[in-house]
Chains A and B, each alone.
Chain A
Amino acid sequence: MSVTAVSEAVNDPARLRTVAAIDFDHPGLRAALDLISRRTAEHTGLPVSLATVVMNTAQLIAGSSGIAGTWLAESGGTPIEWSFCVQTVATGRPYVVRESRTDPVQARNPLSTMGVVPSYAGVPVFVDGQVVGAHCLVGGAAHTFTDADLSALEEGARDIAQVLLRHLDAG
């Protein structure tokens, strides 16, 4: 998918309206998403799991497991141009990178070159028919993700969607 197509998908007004309607600062939302992320990480045995909300110029880490004490936890997200989850959001399909340093799309991504995201698997999170973000796993090294890993992500993504729905501004 081209950079322009990704940008158009991410900045789709209907998608951004749904993202904007989520009360993502609610402490209850973060606690619930942390719990789901921890469950996915434990279930798969991988070190990091995130629940992200992809905004217009950054992705928000709305829930997480395994990043405490890192700069990612401090920033609470990443610039959108570094986001792996943006690929999931743009296509609405799972996105898997076995080894980011050799991946044609991600090899020059600073998160790959600096070893922050050595491998990645993410699935979309749908709310009100829009892909608002992703649920993902990050491996500590190159990693071949299994069907079981993706199933755990899909299950987590469904639960994340339910949590986000509960924190959707009714307008």
Chain B
Amino acid sequence: MTTMDGWNFDQPTEAEMLKALADALGGPEYARAVLDTVCRKIGQSRPVTSPGDMIRVAEALLEFADMLRVTARSVKIRAVTYRALEGVLPPR
């Protein structure tokens, strides 16, 4: 771990990223699964070490989250549509 003189700021690490993801997602297994998926997708070797690679992974995580949101919203619309119509017109 490298700290920049005078700034008291440690170089970001994969472990730190995993910890933040685990806190946000509710467990280390989710964090590992997401990071594995994203790194595989962009061909990123592990562990992620350089700041440049960390930025690439972070950008891929952002895109992953956005796509997840689109897919989840689509799934919700389909389910709510079915439930709404079921109340009006029972399926045959």
Contacts and interface: CB of A to CB of B under 8 A. Distances in A.
Q: Do A and B bind each other?
A: yes
Interface of A: 16-17, 19-21, 24, 55-60, 71, 74-80, 169, 171
B69 interface: yes
**Dominant SS among interface residues on chain A:** mixed
Interface string B18-48: 0000000000000000000000000000000
A20 B59 CA distance: 13
Contacts, number: 59
Contact of A71 (B62, B70, B84): B84
B67 A20 contact: yes
Given A17-B63, A71-B88, A57 B78 contact: yes
**Dominant SS among interface residues on chain B:** helix
Interface residues of B, number: 19
B73 A75 contact: no
Contact of A58 (B62, B69, B73): B73
Interface string B62-92: 1100110111011111101100110010000
